Chains A and B, each alone.
Chain A
Amino acid sequence: MLRIELSVRDQDKYLPHIIFAIIIAILPHLGRLPLWIIIWCAAMWGYLLFSLRFQWPRPNRAVLILFSVFGIFGLLITYGMRIGPNAYLGLLSIMAALKPFEISTHRDRMISLFLAYFIVITSLFQSESLFITIYMFLSVFVTTGALILINDTTATFKSGLRLSGIIMAQAIPLMAVLFILFPRIQGSIFGLSGMPDATTGFSERLSPGNISRLVKNNDIVFRAEFEKNIPGANHLYWRGIVFHEFDGRSWHRSNRIPGIRYFPTGQSPVTYTIALEPHGKRWLFTLDRPASTPKWSRMYMDYTLRHLRPVNRKKYYCITSYLQPYKGRLWDIAPAQQLPAKGNPKSRKLAGDLAGNADSVEQLINQTIFYLKTNGFVYTLEPPLLNRNPIDDFLFRSKKGYCEHYASAFAFLMRAAGVPARIVGGYLGGEVNPFGNYLIVRQSDAHVWVEVWSEVSGWMRVDPTYAVAPKRITGGTSETLTKEFSGSLFVKWFKQLRFGWDAVSTSWEAWFSGYSYLEQRALIERLGIRMKSLKGLLTVFSLICGTIFLTVGLYVFFQLRAPATKKDRVQICYEKFCKKLKKIGHPRLSNQGPVDFAGYIAQKRPDLKPDVYEIIRLYVQLRYQKSHDTSMVKHFCKQVKAFNPW
């Protein structure tokens, strides 16, 4: 009876460690798991830990099976047929919560920990950011510590963690080799990619309130690193989507825009790399006006770029834009003239009046801007609701609005006056990170503006918001909207910290995620190996194997050579002393004891006798006598250091 009890206690001894490792592994996923799974895990593990403490009964096999069925049922309800990484993760979590209940043998413990490793790996589905990478190291560290603990009965949790740290440090060179040389798969791991929340960002429809919702969102949309200087604020119009169709209330993107045939040209080219965060849509952001297309994307006649697939992973692309474009080639401007037959009569009348007074498109634009400037329009993030004729309502009643109101009204007026116009959605400006000298563009930088067609100069960018809130263009949203909230030292310091971290993690991500199949091939081909030929593949393969064998071989060699016990300071100093004497031609024989050696030296070099005798006396005292203190060790080492046989 006693034996059984002991064995039960023994088998539960490691449960807390295993659960701890799994919790550490699962922690970064908390945000992605539905609440019920989190509660499920907490309840299971909580019960288990309490049952250890208070000897509560454990559920038997039938109950566990029932639980699993419930769990899978719950998953089906939550995820339905949307089998993706989140569903996988949910399944893993549910099973990881149940697995510790049936731990009774060593094998079960091993499986549970391997489960933890598997969960660690799934972190990569979510992100490859620096933070996650560091966290994964921590997680592997803890899990390996637990693995050592359950396999080495003499280990304590602390010693297990220490060994785990050593193992990880030893694995780093191997990891680097595999990272650089292991053949890369084109595409994402297992064909799975994170499905980001597609609730933020632009949609294909622009209606009042769309943008102001974005402005409150501080998420990063992309980072842009320029080859040379960052252009002035008035050029930082990041073009994303063009709205051509107006239905009387909201604007839509047109599906009938053909692909571009001739890339735009102009003056002031700038080249820059954009690291676009996944947004689940297809458009790519570029500075006005892009002149090239990155891989896997296509440019349309309205100078927008669209990716071939929705951007579900971080996307890096390099692009060149002309800040001062020449007049583009004419394309059917009909979509930019379309207006609904009815609605907004007052605005139509106003457009007619303005057009009557203007001789040219430029004049019309100026008059319209002037109109917006002088009639008491207010720039606000919380405009009142508009009625069925939103343009009329805005222009003649509320006079309060955000960039989309102004752009929308302006484009309507232009079209009503017979001038082709369209609305461009994107981002304006961005925050310069002083540490990396790149721009961070956030959702709060969202902006829309208008492009107007004139026979003389082609498509011109007009920003009607500028007429009302010039600061919005020159200073960014936050300056216009918040009254410069106190620049206390702490805020400054925090800002600096945020910029610094952003710079580090951005370059990490660019390096880590950016090292893809192509980069690898380029690197290997630079070494003179052609990846495409069979011979090249074999060379790479043997290179990898060779490196691994060499590493392991060297490690084993040094392990076998290294003395079994670590030398202490006295031994090191004594060896130094012997080395000094060896240099003057009197080496210590391996079987010579210290006193004999001293006698030998005294005989060969009588001049050294006092020094040598003193050192040997100290050495013998330290090594062979009963007690000594650390000050003596210091004294001994000092003597050896001072000893000069030359």
Chain B
Amino acid sequence: MTPEQQSGSMASAFFALLRRDLLLAFRRRTEMLFPIVFLLVVVSLFPLGIGPSPALLARIAPGVIWIAALLATVISLDGLFRSDFEDGTLEQFVLSGHPLTLISLAKILAHWLVAGLPLVLMSPLLAVWMNLPIESLGVMVLTLALGTPILSLIGSIGVGLTISLKRGGQLLSLLVFPLYVPILIIATAAVMAASDGLPYTAFLGLLVAGLITSVTLAPFAAAAALKISLS
């Protein structure tokens, strides 16, 4: 087999896997709603917990929405590799000769499309609930659009490491939340800057840099983690 043919089959493997994961998610579409409902419930608890003062809500809105998105991502992450690990599909992937890194990347992308993108799409509603100034709404959506893929990418490493544990989900949050700290800081800072009428493009640039770095590094680490978990 020539190298050209091999890379061709790698691309088709990537898209076959992406298509399959999306189809599987569609077959269980009610489960797709859980993270979104979770996000809505968590955010709605804040006005109930600290009072409906519009000024106060606007002040904490970026942090609240982002932390809710973080939590929603982590509860959805467990499904990233779980079923493929448990029914032996992952072993088939290892034996297929395709790099596990590529397989991880396809699965992470599918996970983001199913669990991350809906969070981004829901965020305008949350922003309205939390009385976020309308001029920072666009920045809020943008930070989530750039940030949630990073959450899926970094999260995939944690899932890869905990997948062989029966109760891996509880440990997962301990593993990934510290790693999420920089994203939380930068993203909320961007939204706050926009609310205060300050320049925010530098923050978005940092998020783009983070996205590029995690796209290049995280799938390798996730693949290594899966390899360890399979042993």
A and B associate in one complex: no
Contacts from B to A (Cβ < 8 Å): none
